[in-house]
Amino acid sequence: MPDLAERLVELCGARGVRRGEAVKALDPGFHKDNLSADLAVFPETTAMVAAVVALCRSEGVAIVPQGGRTGIAGGAATAPRSLILSLSRMQRILTLDPLARTALVEAGVTLGALQQAAAAHALVPGIDIGARDSATIGGMISTNAGGSEAFRYGTMRQRVLGLEAVLPDGTVLSDLTQVAKANEGYDVKQLLIGAEGTLGIVTRAVLRLSGSPANRVSALAACPSAAAALAALDRLQRRPGLALIAAEAMWRDHLVVTAKSNGLDALASFAEAPLYILFEAGGDDEDAVRAAFETALADAVEANEIVDVVIAANLAQRTDLWRLREDWAVDRAFPGGLWFDISVPLAALDATVAAMTRRVAAHDPRHRVFIIGHLADGNLHVTVNAPSPIRDVYDEVAPLIYTGLKEIGGSFSAEHGIGLEKRAALQRYGDPGKLALMRQIKHLLDPDGLMNPGKVLLP
């Protein structure tokens, strides 16, 4: 009897299968165990995916679906005897209708490729993340990706009109609706969105596209508090003629380390404040946007919502501002730190940051808290660092960050997913009724537990 690899070659062709060292030659992405499996298959069609899933089910082989491997919570991590099912050969943009503002794409299309195709029609997918050139649409659906534009266009869940997925039993769930309104009973495709591949494999999707302003202007505002920053945000959102595209937050420690690491010291010292917001506004006429933006920012300074502000005068300055937000200088300076990804109701931002920082300092005075985030979503990316790596104290530190979030309507898991890393937190902070339902649904769809096993729910 042929071994699994040979049968996969029968299904997907010799080019569609990699073993052993050829698996390790792939880009490992952002988690150390992404390529621990010995075998990987690269189907080219939904039918091939379904055939592979059916084969694996009959053979009792665990499948780990992989997109761009840019997740950092371990959702794509593999064990040696599991099979990687990569969507990387399904990367066609099948249709893009600029008037209907929809695109039908295969799951392996990268966000960057879709952004490029949409830009030809002055449209955007409405999601933007740093890993845009590696992250795939299928992976972003499976993690319900958010990013910097979510406050304006929604998270991935809001961008998905239609979805096709191969379920753990090898059947195809086909709901490739092209329309915004389709109420045909329970919207079961929503279960697949954010399930991190544990309930099936997303193979194709219909995405909503949105109009995009032709020009963008960025500004860095120093704010006396998150409450003040929110007042400025509200002001900018309400300003006629401005489309606010980003409101990225950086608390001061992050700004200082990142600015210095990038030779941008002037941006670390233009104004002393606890936090800084990178506002970006868009419009079709650059001069008009700039004028409206400048006026609104000046009004915010006048109202003490902003201490001082630097407006990028050109593309080079705009790139510098974004580097402050996106560069990983803090991680280079403090390797081996702990990453957290939380959501905080906006009214509680200042109090939450203060309490969290106090708890960490009380726990270990050598620990430092760095915070960046997406202001309008209350989504904070918190890193806890120390002079030497502290990965081994994750379980001690996590409660210092998560305590009290659930009670105020926040979340210990904003946009990076549960994967392996946050399973214990989900068990601890999740609603018991919801957790019970999740387990029942997992058992219903995947009774053998072969679809991305061990992820999201603790065994």
- Tell which positions 119-178 bind a copy of itself, by CB under 8 A: 122, 143-144, 146, 150-151, 154-155, 157-158, 162, 167, 171-178
Among the listed ranges 54-62, 111-119, 194-202, 362-370, the one in contact with a copy of itself (CB under 8 A) is: 194-202
241 φψ region: left (φ > 0), alpha (ψ -120 to 50), beta (else):
left
Placement of tokens 């050139």 in the chain: 133
Among the listed ranges 305-313, 326-334, 388-396, 408-416, the one in contact with a copy of itself (CB under 8 A) is: 408-416
| Cα torsion 93, 155, 168, 134: sign | positive
Three-state DSSP at 343 gives: strand
**Interactions with a copy of itself, residue window 195-214 (CB under 8 A):** 195, 199, 206, 211
Three-state DSSP at 208 gives: strand
Nearer to a copy of itself (CB atom), residue 42 or residue 412: 412
Q: How far is CA 89 from CA 67, 171, 215, 216, 281, in A?
A: 10, 20, 34, 34, 36
CB 69 within 8 A of CB 84: no
The C-alpha atoms of residue 186 and residue 188 are separated, in whole angstroms, by 6
Smallest distance, a copy of itself to C-beta of residue 14, A = 31
Smallest distance, a copy of itself to C-beta of residue 10, A = 25
CA 393 to centroid of chain Cα atoms:
25
Exactly one of 17, 344, 398, 400 binds a copy of itself (CB under 8 A); that residue is: 344
- Strand ranges in 284-364 using DSSP code E only, listed in sequence order: 308-311, 338-343
Residue 271's φ and ψ, nearest 5 degrees, are -160, 135
Is 403 a residue that touches a copy of itself (CB under 8 A)? no
What track of x and - describes contact with a copy of itself for positions 360 through 379 (by CB under 8 A)?
--------------x--xxx
Smallest distance, a copy of itself to C-beta of residue 65, A = 16
**How many residues form the binding site for a copy of itself (CB under 8 A)?**
92
Smallest distance, a copy of itself to C-beta of residue 346, A = 4
Is 354 a residue that touches a copy of itself (CB under 8 A)? no
Nearer to a copy of itself (CB atom), residue 49 or residue 233: 233
Smallest distance, a copy of itself to C-beta of residue 202, A = 14
Q: What is the DSSP secondary structure assignment for residue 279, as one 8-state letter?
A: E
Smallest distance, a copy of itself to C-beta of residue 167, A = 7
**Interactions with a copy of itself, residue window 28-87 (CB under 8 A):** none
Exactly one of 9, 30, 117, 190 binds a copy of itself (CB under 8 A); that residue is: 190
Exactly one of 185, 365, 387, 459 binds a copy of itself (CB under 8 A); that residue is: 185
Smallest distance, a copy of itself to C-beta of residue 171, A = 5
Strands of the 243-251 sheet, one edge to the other: 308-311, 215-223, 275-283, 243-251, 368-374, 379-385, 338-343
**Interactions with a copy of itself, residue window 287-316 (CB under 8 A):** 288
What track of x and - describes contact with a copy of itself for positions 324 through 343 (by CB under 8 A)?
-------------------x
Is 191 a residue that touches a copy of itself (CB under 8 A)? yes
Nearer to a copy of itself (CB atom), residue 8 or residue 380: 380
Question: Which residues, 6 or more positions from 88, have their beta carbon under 8 angstroms from its beta carbon?
Answer: 42, 66, 67, 108, 136
**Interactions with a copy of itself, residue window 85-104 (CB under 8 A):** 97-100, 102
DSSP one-letter string for 13-73: -GGGEEETHHHHTS--TTSTTTT-SSEEE--SSHHHHHHHHHHHHHHT--EEEESS---SS
Exactly one of 293, 322, 334, 429 binds a copy of itself (CB under 8 A); that residue is: 429
Q: Strands 93-97 and 102-106, how do they pair?
A: antiparallel
Nearer to a copy of itself (CB atom), residue 279 or residue 334: 279
Structure tokens at 141: 């659906």
Nearer to a copy of itself (CB atom), residue 19 or residue 406: 406
Q: What is the DSSP secondary structure assignment for residue 130, as one 8-state letter?
A: T
Exactly one of 29, 74, 139, 410 binds a copy of itself (CB under 8 A); that residue is: 410
